[in-house]
């Protein structure tokens, strides 16, 4: 079963995976019953989490079998709990490529004016190309766009579009995979095959691998960037129980 799961996860297009996940989450938690790890988003405990990632960037014990959170989702949830995101009335939010673990919860929040956007996702409200967003300027107080910029043709143009539709004084979270051993972002447009892209960029459908200059790239688009490091404030046992590596940083952008 583990081999089948890994093959499907790394081979099927995202829209199909989204549909299949609703079936998977019914029985997967039963196979992982226990209390060694905990997901703060769904508030359920398990014997262990599932593995995740390509052969190049494979990680054990990281994917919640119920709501499918990964390390990045759980650290984002911790940050949101420290803000007024769950309480501020009439908060206008745009969520690009909405993650399933957040989508249903955010939709139910009465304080949010919540809209989702994506090129293909079956759970998105609006479908558009991020390079040319068909929306007016200065609309959204909060924008989420996680693990998207490694897929697009022109990441800077997409960042500028998100900056354009964000209200002055607004904020957002824009996470990407980052290779901390690289100072500069790595791109090579001669690499086109899925096999080579996985080898060079960690996943078959990635077109770049961001380095430590990622915050500067966001600043080039106009954003101010805050780096949130929970390893300085949370005890080690919390990181271990939630399966969040201490190197998991959160980049919060502001306009």
pLDDT at 23: 67
pLDDT of residue 18: 58
Cβ–Cβ under 8 Å, residues 252 and 228: yes
- For residue 21, pLDDT over 70 is answered with no
Q: pLDDT (tens digit, 9 = 90+) per residue, 169-221?
A: 999 999 999 999 999 999 999 999 999 999 999 998 999 999 999 999 999 99
Confidence at residue 15, expressed as pLDDT on a 0 to 100 scale: 60
Question: What pLDDT, on the 0 to 100 scale, is given for residue 50?
Answer: 85
Mean pLDDT (whole number) for 221-241:
93
| pTM for this prediction | 0.89
Mean pLDDT of 94-114: 96
Q: How confident is the model at residue 32 (pLDDT cuts 50, 70, 90)?
A: confident
pLDDT of the residue at 20? 63
Tell me the mean pLDDT in the region 155-175.
98
**Portion of the chain with pLDDT greater than 70, in percent:** 90
Does residue 117 have a pLDDT over 80?
A: yes
Residue 240 has pLDDT above 90, yes or no: yes
Domains of the chain, each with CATH number or no CATH? 2-70 (no CATH), 73-254 (3.40.50.150)
Output the average pLDDT for the chain.
91
Contact 218, 43 (CB under 8 A): no
pLDDT tens-digit profile of 33-76?
899 999 999 999 999 998 887 777 788 999 898 888 999 999 99
Contact 131, 157 (CB under 8 A): yes
pLDDT score, position 57: 78
Question: Is 184 within 8 Å of 211 (Cβ atoms)?
Answer: yes
| 53 dihedral zone (left: phi>0; alpha: psi -120 to 50; beta) | left
For residue 100, is pLDDT > 70? Answer: yes
Give the span between the Cα atoms of 248 and 230, in whole angstroms: 8
* Residues forming a β-bridge with 166: 140
Question: What is the per-residue pLDDT for 8?
Answer: 57
Region 15-26: mean pLDDT is 64
Q: d(Cα 187, Cα 206) in Å, to the nearest integer?
A: 10
């Amino acid at each position: 079963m583990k081999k089948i799961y890994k093959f499907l996860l790394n081979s099927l297009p995202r829209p199909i995976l989204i549909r299949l996940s609703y079936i998977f989450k019914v029985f997967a938690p039963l196979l992982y019953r226990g209390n060694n790890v905990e997901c703060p988003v769904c508030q359920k405990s398990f014997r262990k989490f599932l593995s995740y990632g390509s052969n190049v960037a494979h990680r054990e014990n990281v994917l919640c079998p119920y709501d499918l959170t990964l390390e990045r989702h759980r650290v984002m949830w911790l940050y949101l709990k420290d803000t007024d995101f769950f309480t501020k009335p009439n908060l206008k939010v745009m969520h690009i490529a909405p993650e399933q673990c957040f989508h249903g919860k955010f939709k139910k929040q009465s304080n949010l004016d919540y809209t989702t956007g994506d090129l293909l996702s079956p759970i998105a409200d609006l479908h558009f190309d991020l390079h040319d967003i068909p929306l007016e300027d200065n609309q959204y107080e909060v924008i989420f766009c996680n693990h998207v910029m490694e897929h697009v043709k022109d990441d800077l143009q997409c960042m500028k579009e998100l900056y354009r539709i964000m209200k002055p004084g607004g904020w957002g979270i824009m996470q990407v995979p980052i290779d901390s051993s690289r100072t500069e972002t790595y791109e090579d447009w001669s690499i086109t095959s899925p096999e080579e892209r996985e080898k060079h960029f960690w996943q078959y459908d990635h077109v770049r691998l961001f380095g430590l200059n990622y915050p500067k790239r966001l600043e080039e688009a106009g954003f101010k960037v805050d780096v949130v490091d929970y390893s300085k404030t949370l005890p080690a046992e919390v990181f271990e129980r939630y399966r969040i590596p201490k190197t998991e940083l959160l980049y919060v952008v502001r306009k």
